[in-house]
Amino acid sequence: MPLSRLSSPFLSGTNRVTLQMLQLLLALVPAVIAIVYFFGPSVLITMSLAIVVALLAEALMLKLRDRPLKPFLTDGSAIVTAALLAIALPPLAPWWLVVIGVLFAIIFAKHLYGGLGYNPFNPAMIAYVVLLISFPLEMTTWLPVTTLSEHPLDFSSAFQVIFTGQPGGSLTIDALSGATPLDAMKTQIGLLQIPSDIVNQPLFGLFGGKGWEWINILFGIGGLYLIYRRVISWHIPVAMMIGLTIISSITWILSPETTGSPLFHLLSGGTMLGAFFIATDPITAATTIKGRLVFGAGVGLLTYIIRIWGGYPDGIAFAVILMNMLVPLIDYYTQPKVYGAK
């Protein structure tokens, strides 16, 4: 008879948290490949640096808190946080920006609240918002899609830019950087240009930003895999996309000259990454079925509000954090009634 059947508590052969984290990382792979294809290999450098710093910070905090390195260091949560933050950062984010963001995510947003399972806010998004507010210039320096760039960067050039700040030769960072489709849409609408004319520019594809629409589709496919594997439930991503679609459809119908189409908002920026990989964080999201629907819809609505009327092109991170604040209230009012209770 196996040892796990002899007495309680029964032993588990697989750490469920570790398995879920591995599946999350696996689901990210197709979209990361697309990011490399459209924006070059710099995301691989940023992600590698972020993961190394995250593991070192995790080990340091576990040591300071007198906690065992196993299973906490090997559960994969620090790696997932680092990977999500690295994907959200601009491709040519300087190394020190990555280090600051990862350290803040692991130390302040995770361990100072008690570690995995006790943090009320998504660590990757808290770190992203801190960086965006503190270093707006570095956080808005994006690469154009490689097909639109006169100087696409190879691995060694990207490495040099990230760690030295200069691409070498006569090139400058300004020559390599460009606006994201969400930023371009927001800025040009502010200059009284019409969205139907804006989307005819080379920066835009069929439905969203060129390259971005495929990246979002692949994040969506990865998310469907997570639902199939029951790593996440469908409630939050579906509610978020419905919430975003409804409000963007209403404003698009009423005022098409001031906003992009619903498909543009679904397939641009970090919509699908936020819907399937960030808002669904089981620790910081609502726990009840109705609560998840409310939480997801709230993220979708706030994302659109911030994109259109806020000061930032994308609102995923702010929307998730704001809804994280409301989770206790949402769970309180959406608890299912106990059978027989009045």
**pLDDT tens digits for range 262-313:** 999 999 999 999 999 999 999 999 999 999 999 999 999 999 999 999 988 8
Higher pLDDT, 318 or 12: 318
d(CA 240, CA 219): 15
**Taking the complete model, does pTM exceed 0.85, yes or no?**
yes
CB burial class (10 A; 0-12, 13-18, 19+) of residue 13? Answer: exposed
N-terminal to C-terminal alpha carbon distance within the chain: 47
Question: So what's the pLDDT on residue 342?
Answer: 57
d(CA 236, CA 233): 7
Task: Assign residue 7 a region (left: φ > 0; alpha: ψ between -120 and 50; beta: otherwise).
Answer: beta
CB-CB neighbours of 296 under 10 Å: 27
pLDDT over 90, % of the chain: 61
Question: So what's the pLDDT on residue 10?
Answer: 41
Per-residue pLDDT reduced to its tens digit, 126-152? 999 999 999 998 888 787 776 555 566
CB-CB neighbours of 136 under 10 Å: 12
Residue 67 DSSP one-character state: -
**For residue 169, is pLDDT > 70?**
no
Question: So what's the pLDDT on residue 69?
Answer: 83
Q: Measured on CA atoms in the order 57, 58, 64, 68, is the torsion positive or negative?
A: negative
Higher pLDDT, 292 or 92: 292
**For residue 11, is pLDDT > 50?**
no
Higher pLDDT, 15 or 227: 227
**For residue 2, is pLDDT > 90?**
no
Question: So what's the pLDDT on residue 173?
Answer: 54
Question: So what's the pLDDT on residue 168?
Answer: 56
Residue closest to 307 by CA, chosen among 187, 132, 139, 178: 187
d(CA 91, CA 47): 10
Question: So what's the pLDDT on residue 117?
Answer: 87
The pLDDT-based confidence of 172 (bands split at 50, 70, 90) is low
Residue 5, φ and ψ in degrees, nearest 5: -95, -5
Higher pLDDT, 208 or 327: 327
Question: So what's the pLDDT on residue 6?
Answer: 42
Instruction: Tell whether omega for the bond before 71 is within 30 degrees of 0, i.e. cis.
Output: yes
Helix (H, G, I), strand (E, B) or coil at 209: strand
Q: Where are the alpha helices (H) located in 40-121, listed in sequence order?
A: 42-64, 77-88, 95-103
**For residue 187, is pLDDT > 90?**
no
The pLDDT-based confidence of 191 (bands split at 50, 70, 90) is confident
**For residue 9, is pLDDT > 50?**
no
Task: Kindly state the tokens that stand for 72.
Answer: 């906490």
Residue closest to 156 by CA, chosen among 145, 174, 169, 147: 169
**For residue 153, is pLDDT > 90?**
no
**For residue 340, is pLDDT > 90?**
no
Cα 294 to chain center, whole Å? 20
Question: So what's the pLDDT on residue 210?
Answer: 86
Q: Summarize the confidence of residues 25-42 as an average pLDDT.
A: 94
Mean pLDDT, the chain, whole residue set: 88
Higher pLDDT, 181 or 61: 61
Question: So what's the pLDDT on residue 126?
Answer: 96
The number of CA neighbours under 13 Å toward the Cβ of 184 is 23
d(CA 333, CA 342): 15
**For residue 175, is pLDDT > 60?**
no
